[in-house]
Structure 1
Amino acid sequence: MSRIYTYFGALVGLVCAYFVVRLVFFTDLTTRTVPADVLQGVLLGCGLALVTALIIGRIRATTSHGWTTMYGCGRPGNGMFFRAAQAWAFPGPITVPEEAMYWRTTSDGSGRTLDGHRDYVMHFEPGRLPPTTAFWSLTMGDGRNRYVPNPLDRYHVGDRSGLVPNADGSVDVYIQRQAPVGHEPNWLPAPAGSFILWLRVYLPGREIVERTYSVPPVEVSHARGI
């Protein structure tokens, strides 16, 4: 969840608390009118609903190594309010884990905002690529979550893009503006400024469904860290 949304929710909560305290302790009820009460009730209701959605979204979101996801939002029986909380805290598709899982990050493993002025690498240990019976992909978006134009017209990499493993069976994905010499098949082009990464896994394996799989962090490359 972005800090802007968090600060906005906190501001709305403070405004609602102010009106409630003012109503209970500092308002002469004999001077109130029905239209004013209705308007205030609608505004307070909307504000409290927003704050509650933020709280639920923060509780249900799972963050590890900078990656955020939410499990079970598409389960049958989940109400519209819960889905609204998910859409606010994690703007990803609403599905059941057995169908697809999505992770999103705007920061590296150290918590710094992802920025195209740095080179990054995402290292998958041998046998630790996202488990799936369909396919997975790592997708790049700029700061507004739009595709990043690049000479290769490459907007994502994954198990169908021809990633080349290292000698020990591990896989490195290079996330940077310039092509990594000798590692072009594993290059995910980045923009000049901030960007967003999405990891999508369709028909995920048991480790993901049971929440035992950990997505590796995006780390600043030792070849050119800033």
Structure 2
Amino acid sequence: MGTGQFYLVTIRDSDGNLLNGGATYKLTVPADAPVSLYWSGTVYDRATHALIRDQVRSSRGSNTPELKTKPDGSVDLFFSPEPPAGRETNWIPTRPDGGWEIIFRFYGPTKPLFDKSWRLPDIEKVAE
């Protein structure tokens, strides 16, 4: 364990609805992610399965220098067409006129990922 990669993919939020580029979503990555290297979340255009064009960035990861971590060690990632106030460093842009999908990657995954003692929650819609 601790080598290779493991990917999780979704096109739906915690309510089972397709991810909408015009809405705001949050994913809380729990503390102590089971990786020996790093994790990352990358957003793609659902129609093309390619990176969303003309965006300032397509991903955030535990190796992003300016990523803000909460006191308990967890990280809130935000997905929306515009950055939520005060959350710019943890924001991944979407396009308001389309759907999106995310691939969450674990680089150097470790046992708690496989035995499910650590779980990544679903993405939650927080605003229209």
- Report the TM-score when normalising by structure 2: 0.86
The answer to which structure has the higher strand fraction is 2
Aligned length: 125
Partner secondary structure for residue 12 of structure 2: coil
Residue 111 of structure 2 is aligned to residue 206 of structure 1: yes
Q: Which SS does the other structure have where 1:208 is aligned?
A: helix
**SS of the residue 1:185 aligns to:** helix
| Alignment-derived partner of residue 146 in structure 1 | 50
Aligned pair in 2 of structure 1 residues 150, 216: CA closer, same or farther (>3 Å)?
farther
Residues in 1 aligned to 2:114 and 2:5: alpha-carbon distance in whole angstroms: 9
Partner of 1:112: 17
Q: C-alpha separation between the residues in 1 aligned to 2:38 and 2:2?
A: 14
1:16 — aligned with what?
A: none
Higher relative contact order structure (alpha carbons within 8 Å, sequence separation ≥ 6): 2
- Taking the aligned partners of 1:211 and 1:120, their CA distance within structure 2 comes to 24
- Larger proportion of helix: 1
Q: Is the 8 A contact 1:121 1:175 kept in 2?
A: yes
Aligned equivalents of 2:15, 2:6: Cα separation in 1: 24
Aligned partner of 2:17: which letter?
R
Corresponding position: 1:121 with 2:30:
no
1:184 has 2:84 as partner: no
SS in 1 for 2:92: strand
Q: What are the Cα deviations for residues 20-48 of structure 1, in whole angstroms up to 9, with x where unaligned?
A: xxxxxxxxxxxxxxxxxxxxxxxxxxxxx
CA contact (8 A) 1:97 1:209 kept: no
Instruction: Tell me what 2:73 maps to.
Output: 169
- C-alpha distance in structure 1 between counterparts of 2:11 and 2:71, whole Å: 30
| Match status 1:194 vs 2:72 | no
Which segments of 5 or more consecutive residues in structure 1 lack a partner in the other structure?
1-95
Aligned-partner SS, 2:89: helix
Structure 2 alignment gaps of length 5 or more: none
| Contact 1:139 1:197 survives alignment (8 Å) | yes
Percent of counterpart pairs with the same letter? Answer: 26
1:217 to 104, 115, 122: 122
Distance in 1 between the 2:116 and 2:28 partners?
A: 20
Instruction: Report runs of 4+ in structure 1 exceeding 4 Å deviation.
Output: none
- TM-score norm. by structure 1 comes to 0.51
Distance in 2, matches of 1:209 and 1:140, equals: 23
